[in-house]
Chain A
């Protein structure tokens, strides 16, 4: 999978994102790193912030398209 469909899922889940990045870590299309900074994440624990990302990407996570996911989130400053 390319990074574009993942980016679109995240953009839909975080329309307020000030920073949104999807990186294919190995070039193999299944190990990804996502970075999301959004005001809607402010005030949430890291666990809750990462949960939001997992929810946004539940389809590609569930069907095995994403084999490994690294997440970096921040509430907007």
Chain B
């Protein structure tokens, strides 16, 4: 399966997706960390994908999303934004509201955080 198909697949099948540089346990970029921390504060069940293993991942992701930078956060298939937006929405409380609306009131119950690798 191409990266494009895998990217679309994970965006559509996961509640909250974070495309980042590095992984949650080894973050390689300050902005990716800002987005991750904001999502954690909001209690989001994050599925993380590292874009660093292959530059092609980032290229194909940006072609799909129309968003030029990393990180990128999707909730239920929809682009929420990069680090600045996610941080802003978390601080205003809107991120939690969006998560409740889209994932249900118990969205934070499982608190599962996972990392998914794409096959090259």
Query: Which residues of A are in contact with B by a Cβ distance under 8 Å?
Result: 46-47, 50-51, 54, 58, 61, 68-72
The size class of the interface chain B forms with chain A is 10 to 19
Does chain A have a CB within 8 A of B10? no
Are B66 and A50 touching (Cβ within 8 A)? no
Partner of A71, one of B30, B66, B79, B84: B84
Are B81 and A69 touching (Cβ within 8 A)? no
Question: 26 interchain pairs (CB within 8 A)?
Answer: A46-B81, A46-B85, A46-B89, A47-B67, A47-B79, A47-B80, A47-B81, A50-B81, A50-B82, A50-B84, A50-B85, A51-B66, A51-B67, A54-B67, A54-B69, A58-B68, A61-B69, A68-B30, A68-B31, A69-B69, A70-B83, A70-B84, A71-B82, A71-B84, A72-B84, A72-B88
B47-83 near A? 1/0 per residue, CB < 8 Å: 0000000000000000000111100000000011111
| Nearest chain A CB to B35 CB, angstrom units | 12
Contacts of A72 in B (CB 8 A): 84, 88
Most buried by A among B69, B80, B83, B89: B69
Q: Which 5 pairs, one residue from A and one from B, show the smallest C-beta to C-beta distance?
A: A46-B85, A71-B84, A47-B81, A54-B68, A70-B84
